[in-house]
Each structure stands twice: as structure tokens, then as C-alpha cells.
Structure 1
């Protein structure tokens, strides 16, 4: 097995195991015997940890390489999984979830950066996002099934923490087999290299945010819409908790299929984002009367993610920073849109909330063409 094969295994098996571990606790949250608001806080702290770590992880990966940052993400994830296995104390669980989010944020930002630096990033990004969603699906399904079968709430956590040991072992093995001398040489060269001052980093991040503002807006809104409909689906559908879980799993499956299929679509990324934004806006309105449309929204989300990633692969020089901002924006959308949509629904009704969210999606379709592709800035040279 050569070094490239090790990297492929670390990135693709790693994203599956990390995402599965992150979702393994969700089905057993009611068994923690904590209030509902505490359950929601435990759930959301993971996203907070991921949101604050993705951009730093991307910037660091631009400086020292993606694989070392991915390895750190794996280590942090294993620490969080071990903490979760130590007990069900609410404070410990809260800390573990935040740490787990930090590890996932580092891994995802560096992993996407690594993919976009490969020659076949279009196909690889589809596989990566498919495995990411498959991991979320596996964590949700097997986390609940193992808990019900064994009577222990941490059975799924144990399983996926154990699976995460495999990509971590591969990470260590490739260092000692292939990269020991290269790693030492790289560290020595880093010591001789002048690192960018904070003002340069701020200037580069600000420049990327400004010139790709329509793209970041599309990430926040279009991916945030999936969180909005998932939050409202249980109430609108009238299904039992078991069937709700099955329905949301099918939505994830639709995203997986679209992520793989999008890599074969020969359409320019900006045009595909525009088409998907219009589709998503229409589906939000249909969702109010026909909640089953959530499956189509899962499919549209897969197309959107791959289009956005492929656009950034050609639009920006520093892929770590770009993927860090992409991940930060997606987590921000998943945090903000459900909260804003729920607030509007409480003030008025779900129909008005859906119209406002659909309008935000249409704005994406109008503004996305204003992104500045291939406008590289190279401040570190």
C-alpha cells in the first residue's frame, strides 16, 4: 500500500466514522434523563465546536498540509468519544460534544482541502460528501438500534469510536512508514519560513469573504433550509417518532445519491447552484402542504453542496481557507435558519415563514453569478 492509498483511506473512512460517531448520541438523548432544553443544548454544542474550528483548521492546513490537520481531528475525536464512554454526566457530555465538534471541524475543512488539491476533485468531492452523509445516517440508525438491542445508551458510541481507530492507525502508520523524514524536514523548513502576521491573514480571509460573498450566502441559506425543514417535519408530518426517523434517514439517502450523481453532471457549478436554488425555493413552499417533499429537498441539497465545493476548487488559491469558510457557512446555516424560521413561525405561521425562506433562496439564484472566479490572491509569497 503506497502513501496515496493511506491518504485515501484516512480521508474517506475517517469522514464516515467521525460523522457516524457525531450522530450516535442523537437517538439516545432522551435516555440521558435531562430536560428537553438540555438535550437541544447537547445537540447544538457539536455544531458550535465545528463552526469555530473549521476556518482555523483550513488556514492551518494551507500552512502545514492537510493530512497533519486531519490527524489532529482524528485524535480530538477519539478523545471526545472516550469521554462520552466514561459516563452520562450532563456536564461531561456537553464538554465531549463541543470537543467532538472541534475535531470534526478540523477534519472536514482539511479533508475537503485535500480533495480539492487532487486532480480528480469533482468525483472525489461527491464520494466524500456521500460518505459524510452515510456516516450521519449510520450513526442515527445504528446508535438507536444498538441501544435498543443491548439496553446500553453508549453502544453506538463505542462502535464508532472503535471504527475511528482504524483511520487513526493508518495516519500513524503512514507517518512512520513514508513521512517520517519528510515530516521532520517540513517542520525544519517551517521554522525557517516567516509565518504571515495576523493582519495578512485577516486581509486574506476578508478578501475571500467579500469576493465570494454570494457563494457564502448560498451556502448559509440553501444548506440551512435543510435544517429548517428537518426541524418542522416532525410536527407537520404527524408521523410516529420511528417513522420520522425513517423519513429523515431517507432524506439523507437522497442527499447521498445526489452527491454521487452530481459528479457526472456536465453543468457549470454556478448555473447548477442557480437551478438548485430555484428548485429549493419552490420545494419549501410545497413542503408546507406536502411534507413528503423533504425527500426531494435532500436530493437538491446534494447537488448544491457538490456544486459549491467544485466552484471553490477552481475559484480560490488557498483551498484550506476556502473549505474552512465553506464549512463555517454550512454550520452557520444549519444553526441560523431553523432558529429564524422557527421564530417567524411562532410569531405568524409556517406559511409565512416558508414564503420568507423561499424568497431568501430566490435571492441566491439572482446573486450567485456575481461571484468572482479565479481571482487568486497569494499574500504569503
Structure 2
């Protein structure tokens, strides 16, 4: 129980710190959506390049050293963000922060998937992840209003020391060892459509989070509540999903269609539906993410032996979506229009609806 709590607390604080900068993005790059997209995406780019190597190395050498290193990187990068003000320096610190998250997340998830009750634990883990995102958003909105711009980052950087200490008492579950590279190729090819769906559907949530501060010009407090609503829906769905027999193909197909409608609707809703309509659409996106993630994790736990590699690829796809799709959306919104950014994002979701049927990801009865 203590070991599970150390990972749950760790992902909670890492995600809180990763999101602490989101509501104040306009303060770092006012009226520059592309630069805001870079700052937001830098974290996910760092995680994207690290999660797969971390998963493969965790299978070979154990997960504990990389979990410790990930938490250490998180603390150091948070301290750097507190000390600098240049937006490009902040982007570099966000890359380092993402590298730490990639080390931690990949090895922590493979640890979870090697447990006998992996389905319930993955739901709990993902719920803690999204609870951390909510804490980062809401904490930043509230703290910044009373104590200044970087107070949220300061709080969660300090709290990150707690799971760092706990991680030294973590033990590694045993798994089959391999040289890694052949497994990466085979696992990636077997599950390519599954990983593509994760790239797009998880990345789309990042698009909404990165675009909405400038698109709506709402206060950081309102934006924090809006994004927290999306994460709260993910918490609920990720806790419900392990109790259901979810086949990945059907789950992803339905989720991607709903997210496509929600993304396009979120462009229209501020004008015609008001903020209440936006809250509902964000809840749809968040709930879909929880069901998709748990079904993907459960499938990989049942079908793949090398959990570090399989989960590393899944996490790389997720972070890749969060790194590249908000960046693309920022470019589209600055040089074309916000309509282009939202409608292209909706098209990507429909692409998942059409292609996921090619996946062989079917759970045994």
C-alpha cells in the first residue's frame, strides 16, 4: 500500500506542477498564441522524447532509479522556472520538467501494469493524475490572485520533494528482461492504430487547454475551473471504466466521434451557447479520455509481456500528441484563424473514428 501511495502521490504532484503554468500563459506571452503554444508544448515534448527510452531501460535495469531521477528533474525544473522570466528560458525549463515526467510516468505505469489488480490500479493512477491537473489549475488560479504569478509553481515544487523521498523506499516488481529494441519494433507495429488514437485523442485536450486562455480572454480563475471540469470528468470515467468490460475498438471509436463534436462545438459555444455550453463540451472530452486510457492500459496489460516498452510507447504517443497538436493549433490560430485550429483538430478526431477499426486490439473474453 505504501508503495502504491508513493506513486499515486508522485503523479499527483508532477501533474499539478505541469499545469501550474497554464492559467497564466498570457502573462508570459501576451497576444502571442504561437509562443504560448511553445511554452505549453515544451513540457510534453520533453516527456515525449523520454518516455520510450525510460520504459525500455526500466524493463532492463529496473524502474526505481528512473522514478527517482524523474522526481529529481521535476524539483530542479520547478526551481528554474521560479528564477527566470524570459519566455524562451521558461520553455527550456518546461522541456526539462517534461523529461522528468517522462522518466517517472513510463516506469510508474509499467509498475502498475505488472500488479495483479492492474485494471483498478490504472484507474486509480489516472484519477490521481487528473486530480493533480485540477490542483495545478485551481491552485494556480487561487494562489496567483493573492500571492503573485509564480506562487503555484513554488507550492508544487516544494511538495514534489515528498514523493522524491518516498521513492527511495520503492521496490521493483520482477519482469522478463530483454535487449529492448526488437520488442519496440514489434510492439509498436502490433498496436500502431492504438497508439495513433492515443496521440490524437490525448493531444486534443492539450489543444483546448492551450487555445482557450487567448481565445476566450477569460480570467485565470474561470479558466482554471473550466479545465478542472474536464479533468474531473476524466477522474470519474477512469474510476468507472475498470468496472466495465470495455473493448478498445468500440470504446475508442465512440470516444473519438464524441470528442470531434465537442472540439468543433467548443469553437461555437462561447458565442451561441455561453460558458455553460463550453463546460459541458469540456466534460465530454474529459470523460472520453478516461474511458480510452483505461481500456488501452487494460489491453496492453493482458496482451504484452514487456510492460515498460508497451506502456512507454503508449505514453510516448500521448505526450507526442500533447507536444505537437497544441503547437500546430497555435500556428494555425496565429497565421490563419481560430476556426482553422478547431476544425482541423476535429478532423483529426474523426480520422481516429475511421482508422481504429484496423487495430487488432481485442481483449479475450
Q: Which runs of 5+ in 1 are unaligned?
A: 187-192, 376-381
The question of whether the paired residues in 2 share the 8 Å contact of 1:70 and 1:111 is answered with: yes
Q: Which position in structure 1 is the counterpart of 2:320?
A: 332
Q: Following TM superposition, by how much is the alpha carbon of 1:88 offset from its aligned partner in structure 2, in angstroms?
A: 3.6
1:308 corresponds in structure 2 to 296
Q: How does 1:281-300 map to 2 (within 5 A)?
A: 281-290=260-269, 292=278, 293-300=281-288
Q: Secondary structure at the match of 1:263?
A: helix
Say what the alpha-carbon RMSD is for the aligned residues. 3.2
Match runs of 1:11-22 below 5 Å: 11-22=7-18
Question: Residues 19-60 of structure 1, C-alpha deviation per residue, up to 9 Å, x if partnerless?
Answer: 111222333445558884555433322111111111111111
Question: In 2, are the aligned partners of 1:50 and 1:102 still within 8 Å (CA)?
Answer: yes
Correspondence 1:1-381 to 2 at 5 A: 5-31=1-27, 36=32, 38-88=35-85, 90=87, 92-151=89-148, 153-172=149-168, 174=169, 196=179, 201-234=180-213, 239-290=218-269, 292=278, 293-341=281-329, 357-373=345-361
| Counterparts of 2:19 and 2:206, CA distance in 1 | 15
Aligned length: 351
Q: Which TM-score applies when normalising by structure 2?
A: 0.83
For 1:165 and 1:69, the matched residues in 2 are separated by 16
Deviations 1:203-237 (A, max 9, x none): 32222222111101111122222233344445665
Deviating more after overlay: 8-17 vs 33-42? 33-42
2: distance between equivalents of 1:6 and 1:373? 33
Give 1:324 shift: 1.2
Structure 1 residues 32-41 or 333-342, which shifts more?
32-41
Distance change (3 Å), C-alpha of 1:272 and 1:75: same
**Could you tell me whether the CA contact under 8 Å between 1:34 and 1:90 is conserved in 2?**
no
**Partner SS, residue 267 of structure 1:** coil
Change (3 A) 1:100 1:345: closer
* CA separation of 1:247 and 1:228: change in aligned 2, threshold 3 A: same
Equivalent-residue separation in structure 2 for 1:374 and 1:267 (angstroms): 10
If asked which structure has higher relative contact order (CA below 8 Å, sep 6+), I would say 2
1:218-258 per-residue CA deviation (whole Å, 9 max, x = no partner) reads 11122222233344445665755542332222112112211
CA distance in structure 2 between the partners assigned to 1:132 and 1:86 by the alignment: 26
State the TM-score, normalizing by the size of structure 1: 0.80
Q: Aligned partners of 1:20 and 1:99: how far apart in 2?
A: 16
Give me the whole-angstrom Cα distance separating, in 1, the residues matched to 2:202 and 2:230: 13
On the 8 A contact 2:22/2:210 being kept in 1, the answer is: no
Query: What whole-Å deviation, never above 9, does each CA across 1:167-205 have from its counterpart, x for those lacking one?
Result: 111122x26xxx6xx99xx9xxxxxx9x73xxxx44322
Deviation at 1:68, TM superposition (A): 2.5
CA distance in 2, matches of 1:352, 1:75: 40
Taking structure 1 as reference, are residues 349 and 123 closer, same or farther at Cα in structure 2, changes over 3 Å only?
Answer: same
Q: How many angstroms apart in 1 are the aligned matches of 2:92 and 2:349?
A: 35
Q: Please give the per-residue CA displacement for 1:117-138, whole angstroms capped at 9, x wherever unaligned.
A: 1111111111111111111111
Kept in 2, the 8 Å contact 1:270–1:307? The answer is no
Deviation of the 1:267 alpha carbon: 2.5
Provide the C-alpha distance between the structure 2 equivalents of 1:222 and 1:362, rounded to a whole number of angstroms.
10
Note closer, same or farther for the CA distance 1:240–1:31 as it changes in structure 2 (3 Å cut).
closer
